[in-house]
């Protein structure tokens, strides 16, 4: 008798052979099975040795085949959890990642500081995960979420409505910060910009084959967009405000050098991920402009 567990283990083995890490292979096989079954994790653990029905096999195998081709699970399922919230994701947007939650936390710290007006700009919003997470957490915050991709903004709009924050998250089609006026400064500009060097060989197939290239790659060193944000955010962030950027592994020193070219920023601090790698750069706006 073939059980659900047998089929899930078989999928896990195929995922391993396809180059998926041992950490993810078993989890992905289980998550896909639970979606087909409509079970939560507790029920899956209790009933996974039940006989696998032909209906389960018919629905599970195509999902497994897609993952075996390295399609991200979030695109297969159409959703991804981020900051404790479920977000719709499609190939038009990046799949939200755990390290980006650190950018949300850094932005929320700025909003909690004295003198905060609650005004935030999210540049390159994609799925809207950063903007929505901030809006759900801080009911006094207003967020302008910018993206140049109409398809991405359509996904973000659905996520904004899903979480009931349409009254405080405005979506704008624009390139970077061109839609903003220095006459109404904001507390924080936050962004998960593209930061992968062009033609990088270090990009996993799951990412390179399926995620939007415009949200991944940013010039020979991966820092073209970061340079634009460092320059462009200075006029629109209030004195004492912050620019919060997710960056790539090994880019911290380069970001310090870039920030030093713009006198409006007084310095850079970094927040590490769980591996101790600097992943979030926080630039502080001078209280008296250096420009």
Quick: pLDDT tens for 218-227: 999 999 999 9
Give the DSSP H/E element, type plus range, for residue 57.
helix 54-68
Per-residue pLDDT at 290: 44
Residue 92 CB partners (closer than 8 Å, separation 6+): 149, 151, 152, 154, 155, 212
Chosen domain end from 36, 51, 69: 69
Query: Residue 289 has what pLDDT?
Result: 46
pLDDT of the residue at 124:
96
Alpha-carbon distance 130 to 151, whole Å?
17
Q: Per the domain annotation, does 92 fall within a domain?
A: yes
Residues 91 and 212 in one domain: yes
| Cα atoms found within 13 Å of the Cα of residue 250, Cβ hemisphere only | 5
Domain endpoint, select from 45, 69, 93: 69
Instruction: Please give the C-alpha separations between residue 84 and each of 60, 98, 136, 153, 260, in angstroms, as whole numbers.
Output: 26, 11, 10, 21, 36
Within a domain: residue 116? yes
Q: Which ranges of the chain have pLDDT less than 50? A: 289-291
User: Same domain, yes or no, for 169 and 43?
Assistant: no
Instruction: Determine, yes or no, domain membership for 211.
Output: yes
d(CA 31, CA 25): 10
266 in the same domain as 246? yes
Same domain membership, residue 158 and residue 90: yes
* 74 within domain boundaries: no
User: Is residue 58 located within the same domain as residue 168?
Assistant: no
Give, in order, the Cα–Cα distances in Å from 241 to each of 116, 144, 145: 8, 16, 18
- The count of domains in the chain is 2
Provide the strand spans (E) within the chain.
Answer: 79-82, 85-88, 119-123, 142-147, 169-173, 186-191, 237-246, 265-272, 278-285
Same domain (yes/no): 154, 195: yes
* Residues 88 and 179 placed together within one structural domain of the fold: yes
DSSP assignment letter at 261: T
Cβ pair 186, 122 in contact under 8 A: no
Strands 278-285 and 265-272: antiparallel
Which residue, among 31, 68, 72, has the nearest Cα to 48 in the 3D structure? Answer: 31
Q: Are residues 57 and 179 in the same domain?
A: no
Please give the pLDDT value at position 180: 75
Of the candidates 214, 55, 240, 52, the one whose C-alpha atom is nearest the C-alpha of residue 126 is 214
What pLDDT, on the 0 to 100 scale, is given for residue 145? Answer: 97
Q: What is the distance between the alpha carbons of residues 257 and 156, in angstroms, rounded to a whole number?
A: 33
- 113 and 256: one domain? yes
pLDDT digits (tens, 9 = 90+) for 18-36: 999 988 999 999 999 999 9
Same domain, 84 and 117: yes
Q: Are residues 55 and 133 in the same domain?
A: no
C-alpha of 219 from chain center:
20
Domain boundary among 39, 69, 99: 69
Residue 288: per-residue pLDDT: 64
Range of the domain at 36: 4-69
Q: What is the pTM of this model?
A: 0.91
**Quick one: 140 and 200 in the same domain?**
yes
Residue 291 lies in a domain: no
């Amino acid at each position: 008798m073939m059980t659900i567990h047998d089929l899930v283990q078989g999928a896990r083995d195929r995922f391993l052979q396809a180059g998926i890490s041992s950490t993810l292979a078993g989890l992905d096989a289980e998550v896909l099975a639970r979606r087909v079954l409509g079970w939560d994790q507790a029920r899956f653990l209790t009933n996974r040795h039940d006989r696998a029905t032909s209906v389960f096999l018919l629905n599970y195998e195509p999902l497994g085949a897609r993952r075996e081709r390295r399609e991200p699970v979030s695109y297969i399922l159409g959703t991804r959890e981020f900051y404790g919230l479920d977000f719709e994701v499609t190939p038009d947007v990046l799949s939200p990642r755990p390290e980006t939650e650190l950018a949300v936390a850094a932005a929320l710290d700025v909003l909690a500081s004295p003198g905060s007006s609650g005004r935030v700009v999210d540049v390159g919003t994609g799925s809207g995960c950063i903007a929505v997470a901030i809006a759900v957490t801080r009911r006094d915050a207003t967020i302008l979420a910018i993206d140049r991709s109409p398809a991405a903004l359509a996904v973000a709009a659905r996520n904004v409505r899903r979480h009931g924050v349409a009254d405080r998250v405005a979506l704008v089609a624009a390139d970077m910060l061109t839609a903003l006026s220095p006459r109404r400064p904001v507390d924080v500009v936050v962004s998960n910009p593209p930061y992968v060097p062009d033609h990088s060989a270090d990009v996993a197939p799951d990412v390179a084959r399926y995620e939007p290239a415009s949200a991944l790659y940013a010039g020979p060193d991966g820092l073209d967009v970061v340079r634009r944000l460092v320059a462009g955010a200075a006029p629109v962030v209030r004195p004492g405000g912050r620019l919060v950027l997710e960056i790539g592994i090994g880019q911290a020193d380069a970001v310090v050098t870039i920030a030093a070219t713009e006198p409006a920023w007084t310095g850079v601090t970094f927040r590490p991920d769980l591996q101790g790698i600097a992943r979030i750069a926080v630039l502080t706006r001078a209280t008296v402009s250096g420009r």
